[in-house]
Chains A and B, each alone.
Chain A
């Protein structure tokens, strides 16, 4: 059925932008404030679900031609890689390291390896949520 959804589609385009930025902020700010990989991943997938609601599943798969199932092993590998990486420095598994660095634009920031582990969590959460929702949405 063709229906006239122009108000929902225009609003969804704008709002998805805001949600994506906010999820990125939540993901990066998880070390010092509330947030982290799990909430950031859920927010990103909620932005993608909003686009799925406004447009249909075929349009989304042509705009983002990417299999969300691939995100799950990639995220698990990233999380495992941070654990295995600590063996190269002769410290126990999943040892956390951090340091202060001077970045070109932002200035002095504290970079921690926990962020890379969070990136793995983020990828797994986005992959699992989008896989569940797309699988339920496709079955007739």
Chain B
């Protein structure tokens, strides 16, 4: 039984490493900031969560010790990494980082112009 669960843990950890590799390839291959942020925040999160849960499973079965820190780390990564991706992409859009030239659809077009005008106006007034 313990050997079977060890192999399951190995498979989960290898899946996580593979997802991290896919993230890196995506960071090199994708054309602009937003698609790269899409690759980095999704697959890296799942990869790290898979590695951490495989490690927690291995230590739980093999050493009989369920690490609360690893479970807390899984929850923490799951909450923070998408928020970080969202903030990076939003900061990029607000500072007028160009989209890929083959982009066909931009829902946020013009939504930030008002704020931009207000910000510039405040800067000129002061």
Interface flags, B58-87, vs A, CB<8A=1, else 0: 000000000001001001100110010011
Q: Cβ of B115 and Cβ of A22 under 8 Å apart?
A: no
The answer to the question of A133 belonging to the interface, with a C-beta cut-off of 8 Å to chain B, is no
In the complex, what distance in Å separates the CA atom of A8 from the CA atom of B87? 8
**Interface locus among A10-18, A112-120, A124-132:** A10-18
* Prevailing SS type, chain B contact patch: helix
Instruction: Give the interface size bracket for B toward A.
Output: 10 to 19
Within 8 A of B (CB), among A1-45: 1, 3, 7-8, 11, 14-15, 18, 22
Decide: A22 near B72, CB < 8 A? Known: A7-B86, A8-B83.
yes
Q: Cβ of A18 and Cβ of B86 under 8 Å apart?
A: no
- A18's contact among B76, B83, B119, by CB below 8 Å, is which? B76
Q: How far is the CB of B118 from chain A (nearest CB, A)?
A: 7
Q: Cβ of B118 and Cβ of A15 under 8 Å apart?
A: no
Q: Which residues of A contact B80 (CB under 8 A)?
A: 11, 15
Q: How far is the CB of A30 from chain B (nearest CB, A)?
A: 14
- Report how many residues on chain A are interfacial, defined by Cβ distance under 8 Å: 9
In the complex, what distance in Å separates the CA atom of A15 from the CA atom of B72? 11
Q: Cβ of A15 and Cβ of B79 under 8 Å apart?
A: yes
Q: Cβ of B118 and Cβ of A11 under 8 Å apart?
A: no
In the complex, what distance in Å separates the CA atom of A22 from the CA atom of B80? 15
- Those 10 A-B pairs whose CB atoms lie nearest each other, nearest first: A11-B83, A1-B119, A18-B76, A7-B86, A15-B80, A15-B79, A11-B79, A7-B83, A14-B79, A8-B87
